[in-house]
């Protein structure tokens, strides 16, 4: 798990601090040479993870899984923590081998902000109609072309067809709204774009059927802005 507040995203990049970078730095200190890793999801800058899956080949077969876990946590910074180490099949691929990814997005829907949680929720002080957002979310469940919900990037040539198993919107204590999005795989910024669109419905600017029209248009320029990254968590990975 990691607090993404002070990272420039998960994926390793030169000259900036990334989650992959600090993990591979820690492994290099342990094993004395660079050990490369692969993850189940490449979270953006400011996005957090509760249960990210990171795969690598352990160079020292004499170390137990508990040894590896303890050594990594001794060498990682305080905003990254290894919860568990397990054995996987030799050719396991954390991208294609994952059956489900679950993202949580937290909105603090209160009159005043909580400055102590400003890096971990999206403070949104306007009234939101949860019933309308739930109605709109149903149009996004199932298999669809999510071009209208991807990050605008001409170099991204990945297939925009994705499957969303379920979207839940729950009111929690303390004015928190939880958006829970379950799917096998996601496009870049897709979950944040979904939340931003549903909030547009929640304040009454859009009716729920307009989300269906946006989805079918396959046009990102017709969509509202993304929700900010700080409310998003890679909550769980199933494989």
Is residue 38 within 8 A of residue 23, CB to CB? The reply is no
Strands (E), 1-99: 38-39, 48-49, 54-55
Cα 125 off chain centre by: 23
Query: HSE (CB half, 13 Å, CA atoms) of 77?
Result: 15
Q: State how far the Cα of 192 lies from the Cα of 197, in Å rounded to an integer.
A: 9
Residues forming the active site? 44
Q: Residue 205: CA atoms inside 13 Å, Cβ hemisphere, count? A: 10
Q: State the SS3 of 188-215.
A: CCHHHHHHHHHHHHHCCCCCCHHHHHHH
| In the block, residue with structure tokens 């400003």 | 118
Q: Which residues are CB-neighbours of 11 under 8 A, at least 6 positions away?
A: 18, 20, 42
């Amino acid at each position: 798990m990691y607090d993404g507040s002070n990272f420039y995203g998960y994926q390793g990049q030169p000259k900036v601090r990334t989650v992959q970078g600090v993990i591979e730095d820690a492994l290099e200190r342990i094993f004395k040479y660079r050990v490369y890793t692969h993850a189940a999801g490449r979270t953006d800058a400011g996005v957090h993870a509760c249960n990210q899956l990171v795969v690598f080949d352990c160079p020292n077969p004499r170390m137990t899984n508990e040894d590896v876990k303890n050594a990594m946590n001794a060498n990682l910074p305080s905003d990254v923590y290894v919860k568990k180490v397990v054995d996987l099949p030799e050719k396991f691929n954390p991208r294609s081998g994952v059956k489900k990814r679950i993202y949580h997005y937290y909105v603090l829907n209160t009159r005043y902000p909580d400055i102590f949680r400003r890096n971990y929720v999206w403070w949104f002080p306007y009234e939101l109609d949860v019933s309308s957002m739930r109605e709109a979310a149903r149009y996004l469940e199932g298999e669809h072309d999510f071009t209208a919900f991807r990050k605008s990037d001409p170099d991204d040539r990945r297939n925009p067809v994705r499957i969303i198993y379920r979207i839940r919107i729950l009111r929690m204590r303390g004015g928190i709204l939880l958006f829970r999005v379950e799917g096998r795989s996601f496009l870049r910024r897709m979950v944040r774009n979904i939340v931003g669109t549903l909030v547009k419905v929640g304040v009454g600017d859009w009716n729920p059927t307009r989300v269906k029209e946006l989805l079918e248009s396959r046009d990102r320029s017709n969509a509202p802005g993304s929700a900010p990254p700080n409310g998003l968590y890679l909550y769980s990975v199933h494989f």
